[in-house]
Amino acid sequence: MTCPILADSFVIRVEIEHYLIIKTKTKKKNSINWFGIPVKNFNRAKKFYSTVLGEEVSEMPHPTLKYGMLPADMQNGGIGGGIVEGEGYEPCDKGALIYLNGGEDLSVPLSKIENAGGKIIQEKTSIGQNGFMAIFTDTEGNKVALHSMK
């Protein structure tokens, strides 16, 4: 199965469970502007992400796609994205890994994943001074991660 990359991304090199953040000179505020998580069943995915994230996924009008915005503070410079169902959008567990904001402590959304129909692949793991992360698959088969500082 091929997995389209749906977001501009940067590489984080993994060395024995530690993340090496590479700093570069740039005029860009963020490495990513937007992301789309492909889904096959929009309503099922909307329910999953609303449950896990603890906030409603907002449906957005689009002429050819079903699109739902994940919670983000876009008015204050936050970076957002959403779930998208449509031709050419195929869920997969390979390719770019999107880290969703796990809030103050990712243990809260992580505890909701399996009851909502997903599967935890990697439990909450320390990444040193960069906080914590966990990896899961959603109801559509996408591999996605959570990040928090606690």
| β-bridge pairing 119-126 and 66-69 | unpaired
Beta-bridge mates of residue 83: 37, 68
User: Which residues, other chains included, contact 24 with Cβ-Cβ below 8 Å and sequence gap of 6+?
Assistant: none
* Residue with the larger pLDDT of the pair 74 and 141: 141
Are the CB atoms for 109 and 144 separated by under 8 Å? no
* Mean pLDDT (whole number) for 82-100: 96
The angle formed by the CA atoms of residues 80, 88 and 59, to the nearest 5 degrees, is 40
Domain 34-148 has CATH 3.10.180.10: yes
- Residue 28 has a pLDDT of 76
- Residue 20 has a pLDDT of 53
Please write the tens of the pLDDT for every residue from 3-37: 544 443 333 333 334 445 555 667 777 788 899 99
**Which of 21-30, 81-90, 115-124 is least confident?**
21-30
Q: List the structure tokens of 80.
A: 């957002």
pLDDT band at 118 (very low <50, low <70, confident <90, very high): very high
**Which of 2-16, 66-80, 122-136 is least confident?**
2-16
What is the pTM assigned to this prediction? 0.81
Q: Taking all residues of the chain, what is their mean pLDDT, rounded to a whole number? A: 87
pLDDT at 85 over 90: yes
- Residue 17 has a pLDDT of 41
For residue 40, the Cα-to-chain-centroid distance in whole angstroms is 16
For 45-73, b where at least 16 C-beta lie within 10 A, e where not — what string?
bbebbbbbbeeebeeeeeeeebbbebbee
Report the distance separating Cα 100 and Cα 37, nearest Å.
Answer: 11
Question: Per-domain residue ranges for the chain?
Answer: 34-148
- Residue 22 has a pLDDT of 56
The Cα-based distances of 147 to 33, 77, 97 in angstroms read 18, 19, 12
Query: Which CB contacts under 8 angstroms, 24+ apart, belong to 67-70?
Result: 67/36, 68/42, 70/100
